[in-house]
Each structure stands twice: as structure tokens, then as C-alpha cells.
Structure 1
Amino acid sequence: MLTFRNVSKTYADGTRALAGITLSVAPGEILALVGGSGCGKTTLLRLAAGLDTASGGAIHLDGEALDRPHPGVGLVFQEPRLLPWLTVAQNVGFGLAGHGAPERRARVAHALDRVGLAEHADRWPRDLSGGQQQRAAIARAFVAQPKVLLLDEPFSALDAVTRQDLHGHLLGLWAETRPTIVLVTHDVGESAVLADRAVVLRPKPGRIHAIFDIATPRPDDPEANAAATRQLRAALGASLRENA
């Protein structure tokens, strides 16, 4: 289980990014973090990834402190961040150096097939579209089979059709190994489609405003998605008005 206990973050210039975040994320759960600018969503993700240090409180994975990068925690950024001198397949398999070559090839081939990039395995990242590059980045994160996968607005730069396509690829990969996923997004509709729960954060400093269980079945149920989206949008608006 991934746990946040009274987590706070204050930067050297005195900016309070987070205050008193207490939250538990169950194994295999998809949790969305939603909130306006300045509510600390990405900061919380960076703390969980071990890329930054909390000013107070603690983050644990199965009882182990996450105060530095952890092999059981993967991270996908807004940009694909593929290595341009490696092929698509080499990028996807980059984190599998400790595995034997046959297993590495098999896992990379399977991941590329799951995200629809099997025929692009030997191409260079520059030859792919933005959506294809992000598919490769998602495949790279899943191929290592992390316990926890942190997603920092990975679909925000994509058009609506490509984003919807990637939602399906993400859920397909998640269904195979069921890692815990924490997704940062500005899109409440995306939360309704992907998440089991959504946490609405309030800004300045980032605090939990509300937590919602999302009963939307997978695959999509448009009516249930719309109802969950309306509920989240109302909560998001209320959280911003409180700080106006």
C-alpha cells in the first residue's frame, strides 16, 4: 500500500506547496489527483517518486520510506523523454538491463504490441508522432512491472482522439499486472474515465478538499462518466472559490 502521512512541502523561498496531506492508495487502485494550478499535484508526485524531499511527514510503500528513487516506483512525465539515440524497442527495454536477453526481448515485444507499436520497434523516436512517442513512454514504464506508477499529466499535450486511444492502451496494460497508479490531471473527464477514486486538491498550500469514489464501470459508460465528471467539476470549482 502507498501511504502519505501528514506530508508537507515548503520551498526555500518560503512557498508552501503542500500542507497536511494524509492519504492511502490501495494496491492496484487507480487514483487521480485533480486541482487547479498551485495545488501541489506535481509536487506530491515528485515526492512519491523520490525526486524531492518532503518538509514534513512521510511517504511509504509497503512500510518502506520513499525518500529517494525506488525500483518499485515508475514515473511517466508530460513529455515522452525518449532517448533519441536508441530505437523505440531499446527505449522501452532501457530499464531491463538486469534481465536476460530473451526475457528482455519478450517483455519489450509484448509491451509494444499492447500499445500498438510492434511495427515501429526499430524506428527512431524522431520518426514517431507525439501520440506514438507517449505510447512508447507508457510501455517503457509498464515493462519494468513497477508496484506503483506515477503519471504526471501524460496526455495533456495530445488531441482528444489520441488521448482517448491512449486511455484504452493504459487500461489494457494496467489490467495485466494491476500496479497502483497515481494520475495527475487537470481533466476531470479523464479522471472519471480512468480512476477508481479522485482526490480534489485545494491550492495555496495544497490540501485535500474532497475525495470521491468513482463508480464508473470499465469499459466506458458515457452516462456514468458524465455524472462523475459533473460531480468532480463542481468540487473543483468549490475548491478554487474557497481560495479566491
Structure 2
Amino acid sequence: MLDIQNLSKTYADGTRALAGIDLAVAGGEIVALIGGSGCGKTTLLRLVAGLDRASAGSIALDGEAITAPHPGVGLVFQEPRLLPWLTVADNVGFGLGAVARPERRARVAHALERVGLAEHAGRWPRDLSGGQQQRVAIARAFVASPRVLLLDEPFSALDAFTRKDLHSHLLALWAETRPTVLIVTHDVGEAVALADRAVVMRPKPGRLDETVLLAAPRPRDPAAPRSEAAARAILAALDRSLRPVPAEGRAAAPDANWW
């Protein structure tokens, strides 16, 4: 289990990025973090990845504190960040240096097969489309069998058809080992398609505001009534997250857009 307790982050210039984050994510659960720009979604992911230090609070994976990059935590960024001097296969296997060569080759080949790129193993990243490069990045993250996988808007730069295709590849890889997944997204449809629950964040400072449960079995039809109802619930929660709450507790009109 990923256990986040009373997590806060204040930067050196005094900016309060996060305040009092409490979040428990079960093994194998997929949680989507969604909210307006500047609400601390990426900051939260960087803290869980061990790339930044929290100002207060704690992060633990199965009872082990995370204060630095952890071998059980994988991260996929908005852009693929592939090494241009390595082939596709070598990029996927880059983090497996301690694994025996036959096993490494087998794991890389399997991961590339699962993302539909087996025939591109010997090609260079520059020869691939943007969607194919992101498939390589996803395969690289899964091949190390992380217990937690963090995804920071990995499909935001892709067209709708490519994004839907990558959702299928992601879920296929996830189904094999079922790591805990935290995905940051601005796409409500993406949250509905992938997650077990969507956690809406409120800005200034970033904190958790509402949770929408997404219980329909996957794969999910975006036009199905349950999917449409879930999308409406998330949109309503996003709207409420941007309404300042006066002292008497009544929400005022929003002064910003979540997108």
C-alpha cells in the first residue's frame, strides 16, 4: 500500500504547493489525480517519486518511508525522455543492468510485444512517431516490475485516437502485475477510462477535495450511461474545487477554469 499522511510542501520563496495531503492507495489500485493548473498534482507525484523532499508529513510504501528515488517506484513523464543513442530495445531495458542478459532480453521482448512494438526493437527513437515513443516509455516503466507506477500526464500531447490506443496498452501491461498507479491528468475521459477512483484537488494550496468512485468494469465504453454519469460527477467536483469557500461555508462563484 502507498500511504501518504499529512503531506505538505512549501518552496523556498514561500509558495505553499501542498497542504495536509492524506491519501492511501491500495496495491493494484489506479487513482487519477485531477484538478486545475497549479493545484500541486505534479508536485505530489515528484514527492512520491522521491525527486523532491516534503516540508512536512510522510510517504510510505508497504511501511517503508520514501525520501529519495526508490527502486519500487516507476515514473513516466509527459514526454518519453528516451535516450537517442540507444535502440528501442535498449531504451526499454536500460534500467535492468543487474538482470542476467537472457532474462533481460526476454522481459524487454515481452514488454515490446505488449505495446505492439516488437518489430521496432532495433530502431532508433527518432524513427518512431510520438505515440510510439510514449509506448516505449510505458514499456520501460513496466519492465522493471515497479510496485508503484506514477504517470504525469503521459498522453496529453497525443491525439484522441492514439491516446485511446495507449490506454489499452497501459491497462494490458497493468493487468499482468497490477502495480499501484497514480496518474495525473486534465482529461476527465481519461480518468473515467482508467481509474478506480478520481481524486479532485483544490488549489492554493493544493489539497484533496473530493473523490469520485469509478466502479464499472474495464474496458469502459465512454458513451455508456455509467461512464457519462461518472464524467459529469467529476466535472461537477472540478467546478466546486475552484469555488472559494467563505467562512460561513457557502461556495462562491468560480473565478477560474479547471482546464
- TM-score tier (shorter): over 0.9
In 2, the alpha carbon distance for the partners of 1:216 and 1:15 equals 39
| 3-state SS of paired residue (2:9) | strand
Partner of 1:145: 145
In structure 2, C-alpha distance between the alignment counterparts of 1:152 and 1:215, rounded to whole Å: 23
Q: Is 1:11 aligned to 2:5, yes or no?
A: no
Trace 1:173-212 onto structure 2 (pairs within 5 A): 173-212=173-212
Q: How far apart, in 2, do the equivalents of 1:240 and 1:187 lie?
A: 17
User: Could you list the runs of 5+ residues in structure 1 that have no partner in the other structure?
Assistant: none
CA deviations 1:184-212 (Å, max 9, x no partner) are: 00111100000001110000000111012
Matches of residues 214-233 of structure 1 in structure 2 within 5 Å?
Answer: 214-221=214-221, 222-223=223-224, 224-233=226-235
Aligned pairs for 1:54-203 within 5 A:
54-203=54-203
CA distance in 2 between counterparts of 1:158 and 1:237 reads: 25
Distance 1:182 1:216 in 2: 18
Q: What is the TM-score of this pair, normalised by structure 2? A: 0.93
**When you count helix as a share of all residues, which structure comes out higher?**
1
**Alpha-carbon offset, residue 241 of structure 1:** 2.1
Q: Distance in 2 between matches of 1:9 and 1:77?
A: 21
The Cα shift of 1:216 comes to 2.3
Q: Distance in 2 between matches of 1:99 and 1:24?
A: 31
Q: Work out the CA distance in 2 between the residues paired with 1:230 and 1:2.
A: 28
Q: Which runs of 5+ in 2 are unaligned?
A: 245-253
1:27 alignment partner, SS class: coil
| Higher alpha-carbon Rg | 2
CA offset at residue 240 of structure 1? 1.1
Query: Residue 73 of structure 1: CA displacement?
Result: 0.2
Q: Could you tell me how far apart the structure 1 residues matched to 2:121 and 2:93 are?
A: 11
In the TM superposition, what is the alpha-carbon distance from 1:220 to its structure 2 partner?
A: 1.4
Query: Hey, what's the Cα distance between the residues in 2 that align with 1:218 and 1:239?
Result: 27
Counterpart in 1 of 2:250? none
Asked if 1:45 is matched to 2:61, the reply is no
Runs of 4+ with deviation above 4 angstroms: none
Is the 8 Å Cα contact of residues 216 and 228 (structure 1) preserved in structure 2?
Answer: no
Identity level (%): 75
Alpha-carbon separation, structure 2, partners of 1:92 and 1:212:
34
Q: Is the 8 A contact 1:192 1:216 kept in 2?
A: no
Contact residue 17 and residue 40 of structure 1 kept, 8 A: yes
What SS does the corresponding residue of 1:211 show, helix, strand or coil? strand
- Mapped partners of 2:113, 2:73: distance in 1: 23
State how far apart, in whole Å, the 1-side matches of 2:228 and 2:143 are: 32
